[in-house]
Amino acid sequence: MSSVTDRDIVNDAENTTESPKIQTTFTVREIQELLPHRYPFALVDRIIDYEPGKKAVGIKNVTINEPFFPGHIPSLPIMPGVLIVESMAQVGGVILTLLPGMKGVFFAFAGIDKVRFRRPVVPGDQLIMTVELLALKRNRIAKMQGEGKVDGELAVQGEMLFSRID
C-alpha cells in the first residue's frame, strides 16, 4: 500500500487543466491598486462580488468619522448624495479597470442620469452598491447602471457615464 505525499499533491495540482480561478472579491488594498482615489475620496471599502466585464458589488461602511459629517448637517448627519453616487462610480471604476487591456487606464466620471435618492445614508449604515456595465463603446465611453441599498432597502439608483482619460 502506498501513501500519498505532499509532492504528489503538488504534481497533481500542476497537471490539472482547470481554467485559472477568477478573483471575485477585493480588499481595500487591492482596490487601491486598481483606482487612484485616496482619503478622503476613497469611498469603497471592499468588493464582495465581481463578474468580469459585467458587474461588481461593493461596500462602503459609513462611519461618524467621515470628514464630511461635521459640515453636512451637524445635527442630522447625512451622507451627501454626490458622494453616494461617487461611491457607486468607484465600484464601476473597478469593473472598467479590470477589463482586458485596461490596467492603468483611468475612466473619469462623465455624467449621471435618472438618479434618485430613496432614503438617507447615515453614520452606522453599510451601503451595498451593485453596478452593472451596460455598454462600452470603442473602449472609451462606458455606461453603467447602479443601485445602493442599506439593510436591503433601496437608497439610491441611477445611470452613470464614464469617459476614458488618456
Residue 142's φ and ψ, nearest 5 degrees, are -125, 145
Q: Please tell me whether the peptide bond between 40 and the residue prior to it is cis, using omega within 30 degrees of 0.
A: yes
Q: What angle do CA 18, 25, 166 make, to 5 degrees?
A: 100
Average pLDDT per block of 10 residues along the chain, 166 residues long: 44 53 95 96 98 98 96 95 98 97 94 98 98 97 98 98 96
Let me know if residue 10 belongs to a domain. no
For the record, the C-alpha cell of 34 comes out as 486598481
CATH of the domain at 90: 3.10.129.10
Count of domains for the chain: 1
Q: What is the CA radius of gyration of the chain?
A: 19
Let me know if residue 67 belongs to a domain. yes
Let me know if residue 127 belongs to a domain. yes
Let me know if residue 82 belongs to a domain. yes
pLDDT given for residue 17 in this prediction: 55
| 125 and 85 Cβ atoms separated by less than 8 Å | no
pLDDT given for residue 19 in this prediction: 66
As annotated, the active-site residues are: 72
pLDDT given for residue 6 in this prediction: 44
Cell 485596461 sits on residue:
102
Let me know if residue 90 belongs to a domain. yes
pLDDT given for residue 5 in this prediction: 45
Domain boundaries, position 99: 22-165
pTM to 2 decimal places: 0.87
pLDDT given for residue 10 in this prediction: 41
Q: Is 89 left (phi over 0), alpha (psi -120 to 50) or beta?
A: alpha
Let me know if residue 11 belongs to a domain. no
Let me know if residue 121 belongs to a domain. yes
Let me know if residue 93 belongs to a domain. yes
pLDDT given for residue 8 in this prediction: 42
